[in-house]
Structure 1
């Protein structure tokens, strides 16, 4: 989860560059596959047909079948939806409290900020995946602890970025002038603070989603995350790995989908370079 930590030391780039457009286009395609694929693909991702075990690409199975004869196209579509959904919800659950607490800490300061800093330090003292594993120990293989653990890990980055940037903005002379002219906190927040932190939060959100996708896949791959027969991309790779010699493309398909999801999010954070 070091990607999120590295990002907070840089400012969001402005401009809509070629890389950002490419990332947006890639995510639109993958999002369409994830959202609409399960609606138009008639195959059930859990339906087994042992007679079609490791069926090649083409024929009755457009992208082949796994070792249980389950449609890889259907499983990839449901896996992409699961990864997208969990990543987006995790990002929201981390961003909303992180941003609100960061704004409150920068605005109020005092004991509230000291308490929040202590909580953030405690969370950062634990390796991100360790915190997720601790929660998964109470209910292994379920969505809830996995979602909660990732959110608890990622909110700190939103909090610290928001607090540091907001404090810098509030220290500017024009903010003091606005206060002296009688403009309220809401006006200052909407017109001066949010336009500055907005692009940074958007960039951090993309990094957070990419981190969540990688974390979910990694935990499922080591059998402590979502468990089979749930069509999760990381667990699909592990399930098919023993058959790599017979069907290497089948193993690579979920790995390529993870790569494309993360690549699209990473490209989306790029902008025009000066």
Structure 2
């Protein structure tokens, strides 16, 4: 009786069967699965629940989870499940939008600085160095104070605070690629930046930018929840994770299940993004 197949260096068994998934792939699949479940809940939850999260029913205040309300009701008799579904859509959508909006100018400016060098590089680095010492959460707080309760102000603040990291990472990663033989040959043959960007830069930058996108999206989710928790983010009756925690905290002794719902959803969101980021970074 033969023993188990011996795995070769490329991860393929001696009999030609593929090897078991590595720990990194398992983490990535788990992270994608968690984010997929949260995304489905955010997209389909409001439609499936079919309850307006702003409708109050004071005669059903602080109802425990049951058939009518799977996650119970808050102090105003509103469905926690309905509010959680809308909060998931708001937090996930706004965080991804802010991360992508920060990535586009940050990556383009970083590659431009690495490509042009000289005065353009120094000017862009000076701009990034001037913005970086300002704490990102403080910048969001300033914009939120100017326009209280505005989702647009939170989005702009998060985008403005996140673009610097994309600029620094893309500039640092692009410089050795641009100095390589392949790019030098392409430039000698007359190919411009669009060709070099498509054939050389983007394939080399994709892994590190994927990691940074996951990290920045997780950072944006936590920032939104923190601002809502301290009362300077989105305002009632808007369903938002941090705001829901603030509303539920005074009733923890009487209805402890209320606080667990937004906390669990926030943990799943951040955990899914961090698992993807760890796998992309090769840890």
Normalising by structure 1, we get a TM-score of 0.91
Matched, 1:262 2:270: yes
> How far off its partner does 1:187 sit?
2.2
Find 1:147's aligned residue among 135, 147, 155.
Answer: 155
Query: Is the CA contact (8 Å cut-off) linking 1:54 and 1:64 kept in structure 2?
Result: yes
1:7-48 per-position Cα deviation (integer Å, ceiling 9, x unaligned):
xxxxxxx99610000000111111000011111211110001
Spell out, residue by residue over 1:151-190, the C-alpha distance to the aligned partner (whole angstroms, 9 max, x if none): 0000001111111111111111232233234443322221
Change (3 A) 1:244 1:15: closer
Query: 1:119 pairs with 110, 122, 127, which one?
Result: 127
Contact 1:27 1:261 survives alignment (8 Å): yes
Do the aligned partners of 1:23 and 1:266 also contact (CA within 8 Å) in 2?
yes
* 1:158-169 pair list within 5 angstroms: 158-169=166-177
Q: Give, in whole Å, the separation in 2 of the partners of 1:127 and 1:214.
A: 15
SS at match of 1:33: helix
Gaps of 5+ in 2: 1-21
Deviates more, 1:62-71 or 1:171-180: 171-180
Give the aligned partner of residue 193 of structure 2.
185
| 2:62 aligned with 1:54 | yes
Among 122, 130, 137, the residue aligned to 2:138 = 130
Q: Structure 1: any 5+ residue segments left out of the alignment?
A: 1-13
**Deviations 1:73-125 (CA, angstroms, capped at 9, x unpaired):** 00000000000110011011101111111111111122222221122112111
Q: Distance in 1 between matches of 2:187 and 2:156?
A: 39
Matched, 1:229 2:237: yes
* Alpha carbons 1:102, 1:163 under 8 Å: kept: yes
Higher RCO, 1 or 2 (CA under 8 Å, sep at least 6)? Answer: 1
Residues in 1 aligned to 2:100 and 2:186: alpha-carbon distance in whole angstroms: 31
* Residues 234-245 of structure 1: pairs in structure 2 closer than 5 A: 234-245=242-253
CA distance in 1, matches of 2:238, 2:227: 13
- Name the residue aligned to 1:100: 108
Is contact 1:210–1:265 with CA below 8 Å preserved after alignment?
yes
* Corresponding residue to 2:216 among 208, 218, 221: 208
Quick check: 1:216–1:225 contact (8 Å CA) kept in 2?
A: yes
Among candidates 34, 53, 56, match of residue 42 of structure 2: 34
Distance 1:185 1:33, change over 3 A: same
Shift of 1:137: 1.6
Among 78, 90, 94, the alignment partner of 1:70 is: 78
Q: Does 178-187 or 259-268 show the bigger shift?
A: 178-187
Computing the radius of gyration from Cα coordinates, the structure with the larger value is: 2
User: Does the 8 A contact of 1:17 with 1:270 survive in 2?
Assistant: no
Selected match of 1:252 from 254, 257, 260: 260
CA distance in 2, matches of 1:30, 1:198: 25
| 1:182-205 alpha-carbon deviations (Å, 9 max, x no partner) | 443322221111101011111111
1:250, distance to aligned residue in structure 2 (A): 0.8
